[in-house]
Amino acid sequence: MKNKLFKILILAMIILTIGSTNVYAGVLDDVWVTFVSWVTERLNNDAPPSEQAQHEHAEAMAQDQSLTEEQRKEWEKLAQETDRVAKMKEYLEENRSEMPEWQVKQWEHDIEVMEKMEKGDYSGLTENTPQAVVADVAEGAVETVSNTADFISDFTSNPIGTLVTAILDVFKTILGYWVQVIADMVQTLSMGTTSDFSLTYSYDELKAEDDNGPRNMYTNVKKYKEGGGKKWQKVIDIKKESGYDFSSDTPIPVTPVDLYNMAIGNIDFLDVNFLEVNNNNHAEGSIWLNLRNFISVIIHIVIYIVSGILLATLIWHGINLVKKSFGLPEKQKEHRDGLKRFFIALGILIGTIVIMALLINMSDILLADLQGKDTNELPIRVNVESAEYSFSTNITGYALYMSQIDNVDMFTVKAVWVVVFIAFAWLNLATVILLIARMIVMMLLAIVGVGLAAIYALDIGKSPKEKYKQWLELYASLALVQVFLAIASKIILENL
């Protein structure tokens, strides 16, 4: 194997040498095609027996009468263990009704891939099997040689554009890509896709999922159709003559966290509605739901304590007002004022809960026009003629897609989109941090607002009315933050 790898490296160097000269640039494609075929053939020859071959051999041995009964049973057991496809099919049929549609599709896709493996077809493998490793090595070799050929070809025609394009891709990855991955974690953690550490996927990967799959529910990939899209979406058609050189191999962005999704409340973890839980958005046992339940318990405890304090002040001032009705006038006034504070404090207690509910619901009503009609699909529909596909995305995703422009003659256009993507990635991360802080502050304000009723009833501190006014202004401002984000998002969408 070491000798073969050595030959591969030597041949790759020869190709680079040939490709670097203008004389042989025209024959480069023929050379690398031959090289790819040789690499694939050599590597596949080293592949271990397929699982199907092992299964068939074990079945044959289990029927061999020259073996003892104990040996045949061992071979029979091995035959059952190696027949994974049959087991997967059996499991799928038994559990199909309990599995979501996207998961059923994923299982069917995996079974199809494994059946191809048994026939020696290793395309589309997603598992870390020996065959998959061989296929990955071969595919990596093919991709490396292909990319090298493309780079040399581009460099000979436009050296400056080629170098700038390569540098831009590095800057995009370091300054934008990983920043957006971190921002997305507030949503991908609950989706179970954090381990991908990826912002882009192939058309086939997304299509293999159901429309409600953890990634395709945002993109809803389809075949190309000019002008295709829903009424509430911004439709962008990218024609072949644009010269961007997008192809069916150009990956599709999946960036769930950006201004749009944060504005309309589609990011589960940033939800500030602690009074009413939407079970469609929050899975049982999620971090947000546990935090919400903890805060809810504290709020209920504070309400009980405050209610007890209010009742005690009512009894105290009521009894003393009657007892001292023939006493000193200043004492009567003190207890009458105490009863007034009780009724105002009771209004504050009830009003606080009502105000919180009204502000959150008012925010939802104002955002209703921007939302995608109870769907996770994103607001921009991109139809790419040269790639022959269509997908939905958001502002950040569109900037990321356009930053993949492969035409080195358009490096200035690519540079603009790289800068835009990096800017939005940092903006998204900053907004996530802001909204997490907002969520925590609003949770604490919910507790403080209820507690202010007791402070007012007991006449503790200076200007309790002023404190409640400040609480109301702060809570209202934080509750309406999403509305301002929605307005900003709409303005950007309108000007794309």
- The string of pLDDT tens digits covering residues 44-79 is 554 445 555 655 666 666 677 777 777 767 667 666
Q: If you write DSSP's letter for every residue of 50-111 in order, what string do you get?
A: PHHHHHHHHHHHHT-TTS-HHHHHHHHHHHHHH-HHHHHHHHHHHHGGGS-HHHHHHHHHHH
Share of the chain above pLDDT 90, in %: 20
The token pair that represents 462 in the structure block: 């200076």
188 pLDDT higher than 60: yes
pLDDT, greater one: 146 or 484:
484
Q: Is the pLDDT of residue 472 over 70?
A: yes
Given phi > 0 = left and psi -120 to 50 = alpha, else beta, which region is 99? beta
Rounded CA gap, 255 and 252, in Å?
Answer: 10
pLDDT at 321 over 50: yes
Q: Is the pLDDT of residue 20 over 50?
A: no
What is the maximal distance between C-alpha atoms in the chain?
A: 117
pTM for this prediction: 0.68
Rounded to whole angstroms, what are the CA distances from 459 to 67, 162, 313, 318, 452?
94, 73, 11, 16, 10
Q: What is the pLDDT of residue 4?
A: 45
> Does pLDDT of 230 surpass 90?
no
* pLDDT for 98: 74
Residue 260 · residue 268 · CB < 8 Å: no
Tokens of 32: 């690398």
Q: Give me 41's structure tokens.
A: 């053939």
Query: Which residues in 411-441 are b (16+ Cβ under 10 Å) and which e?
Result: bebbbebbbbbbebbebbbebbeebeebbee
Mean pLDDT across the stretch 408-432? Answer: 94
pLDDT averaged over the chain? Answer: 77
Nearest partner of 485 among 444, 437, 451, 435, judged by Cα: 435
Q: Is the pLDDT of residue 287 over 80?
A: no
Domain assignments of the chain as residue spans, ordered by start = 2-158, 159-496
The Cα 379–Cα 156 span in angstroms is 40
How far apart (Å, rounded) are the C-alpha atoms in residues 113 and 96? Answer: 19
* Model pLDDT for residues 72-107, shown as the tens digit of each residue: 676 676 666 556 667 777 777 877 877 777 677 777
pLDDT at 25 over 50: no
The contacts found for 312-317 with CB under 8 angstroms, 24 or more apart, are 313/338, 313/341, 313/342, 313/345, 313/457, 313/458, 314/339, 314/342, 317/342
pLDDT above 60: residue 11: no
Q: Which backbone phi and psi does 91 adopt, to 5 degrees?
A: -65, -40
361-392: per-residue pLDDT in tens?
777 777 766 565 567 889 899 999 999 999 99
The DSSP H or E segment spanning 156 is helix 130-157
- Residues of 376-387 as b/e, b for ≥16 C-beta within 10 angstroms? bbbbbbbbbbbb
CA distances 13 to 18, 43, 145, 179, 329, Å, are 9, 19, 10, 36, 105
Strand pairing of 252-253 and 200-201?
antiparallel
Given phi > 0 = left and psi -120 to 50 = alpha, else beta, which region is 320? alpha
**pLDDT in the model for residue 437:** 92
Radius of gyration of the chain (CA): 32
Strand partners, 384: 238, 389
pLDDT average, residue stretch 227-255: 89
